[in-house]
Structure 1
Amino acid sequence: MKNLNLLPILFYIFVGCQLNAQMPKVHSIGSMKDMGSTYDLHVLLDTISPKSHLYGMGPYDRMKGEITVVDGKPYFATAFEEGKYQVSTEWDIQSPFFVYADVKEWKVFKITSSFNCVKGIQDVVASIAQANGYDLQKPFPFIIKGAFDELTAHIVTPRNPEVEGYREGVKSQKFTFGDTQGELVGFYSENHQGVFTHANSFVHIHFLKKDKTFMGHLDEISTKSSSYKLYLPKRK
């Protein structure tokens, strides 16, 4: 009987160890809610280490564009002219807030789903992560790769006249793509609203086209049921 009484304790220890195995650690510097109207810079990307398997995102400079780092390669996008965008790669860039993680290995889940909004992506990621032992109270990065029927992403533009690329009354530019391939790079957190996710969301997602010619913050998505690959950090 004594051994039987130990079973519930051992079960909870096992479950606790499984949840604590979620890695890697997500780091954040600065926050959305503290940017104010000056958008002070808090991180130089070149100072982040290690870089070889870094994933991260945030605004480029003082709202001059978007930054996404994918497997150690930094992309930053600007949209200074109407209807035009440009994607470059460089480590010597800064951001008012930035979230990042070093992910050496991923676990791949093949999923079949339709996405009709960003919240739908959030729900699918949370459901699969929780079903596979991830602790949703701890932040984690994720990637979804595939072909998307239609999506819209924006690139922020400067809000202050003294910043390069400023245009009065323009805070961002939206771009819509149909039948496009690429990856949705995101971070999930139920405890960082206003820090690196918006106040009404648990996810911050950027879209990077497969050919790397466009990158921006995901606003809208509409896809029929299709097959995708969801990548979650491999737990040790």
Structure 2
Amino acid sequence: MKNVMWKGELGSSINLDSISDKQGLYGIGPESYLTGELLINNGKSYVSRVTSDSTMLVEQKFDVLAPFFVYANVNKWEEIELPQSIRTIKDVEKYIDEKTIKNKRPFAFKLIGNISKAVIHIQNLPEGTKVSSPDEAHQVQTNYVLKNEDVEVIGFFSTEHKGVFTHHDSYIHLHLITKDEQKMGHLDELEINAMKLYLPKE
């Protein structure tokens, strides 16, 4: 992530087609040249791109490139009912950190349920744009507000990878997809209504 944001290395480091083990595969990252967002959810690969300020196109395909991408294979999950006090991304981060203090890290996790509100973004950098800072990388992202949606959130947790696959101020990186698979993007804000947390079983 640092190389993309600070050094402008926007080209392809990985073709998602090259990840051979698709069973129980989960992954997130941006599309090459920051033209969209990528998500692999249980072996299905999605790319979302901006079509207007209020609309997007979500396609299912593996033949896409990413400048950085984090992925893992998980086939068994532990289901946990999230306490009602857990409402925001920061709440989720703190709860997972406390819950998994003895677990092997880093790891993938899932949230499934209903949100009262969420803000997601899709990168939409014009062709030929140069990037030398996070502000420049995010200057042309398009934000979308979701309300009262059933969603699935795929996340990655690590205390050791700030600037690698999580932002410098967070232990988690999250992408959200709606149940109808019509909206998907990087998750920036979250107000949970009722959700379950899924952690990998050792």
TM-score under structure 1 length normalisation: 0.77
**What SS does structure 1 have at the residue aligned with 2:82?**
strand
Separation in 2, partners of 1:162, 1:81: 19
Tell whether 2:157 aligns with 1:188.
Answer: yes
1:73-152, aligned counterparts within 5 Å?
A: 73-130=44-101, 133-135=102-104, 138-152=105-119
Query: How large is the RMSD of aligned CA atoms in angstroms?
Result: 1.9
CA contact (8 A) 2:120 2:185 kept: yes
Query: Is the 1:118–1:220 contact (alpha carbons within 8 Å) kept by the matching residues of 2?
Result: yes
Contact 1:114 1:223 in 2 (8 A): no
Structure 2: which 5+ runs fail to align?
131-137
Give the number of equivalent residue pairs. Answer: 193
The equivalent position to 1:203 in structure 2, one of 143, 152, 172, is 172
Amino acid at match of 2:109: F
1:58 pairs with 2:29: yes
Partner of 2:125: helix, strand, or coil? coil
TM-superposed CA distance for 1:114, in Å, is 3.9
Answering whether residue 165 of structure 2 is matched by residue 218 of structure 1, we say no
Tell me the percent identity. 32
Q: How far did residue 129 of structure 1 move?
A: 2.1
Query: Partners in 2 of 1:97 and 1:45 — Cα distance?
Result: 11
Q: Do structure 1's residue 48 and structure 2's residue 19 form an aligned pair?
A: yes
Q: Which amino acid counterpart does residue 94 of structure 2 have in structure 1?
A: D
Check whether the contact 1:43–1:95 (CA below 8 A) recurs between aligned residues: yes
Contact 1:45–1:91 under 8 Å retained in 2 = yes
Q: Residue 57 of structure 1 contacts residue 99 of structure 1 at CA under 8 Å; is this kept in 2?
A: yes
SS at match of 2:2: helix
Q: Could you say what secondary structure the match of 1:62 adopts?
A: helix
For residues 26 and 191 of structure 2, the distance between their equivalents in structure 1, rounded to whole angstroms, comes to 25
User: Aligned pair 1:175/2:144, yes or no?
Assistant: yes
Deviations 1:185-206, CA, capped at 9 Å, x for gaps? 1000000000000001000001
Q: Distance in 1 between matches of 2:129 and 2:159?
A: 36
What is the match of residue 135 of structure 2? Answer: none
Say if 1:159 and 1:170, in contact at 8 Å, map to a contact too.
no
Tell me the secondary structure at the aligned position of residue 41 of structure 1. coil
Deviations along 1:86-145, whole A, 9 cap, x unmatched?
A: 100111100000000011111111222344432121111212223xx414xx20000011
Contact 2:3 2:9 in 1 (8 A): no
The equivalent position to 1:154 in structure 2, one of 98, 106, 121, is 121
Shift of 1:184: 1.3
Question: Which AA in structure 2 matches 1:202?
Answer: Y
Cα distance in 2 for partners of 1:216, 1:105 equals 25
**Structure having the higher Rg:** 1
Alignment partner, residue 133 of structure 2: none
In structure 1, the residue corresponding to 2:83 is in which secondary structure? Answer: strand
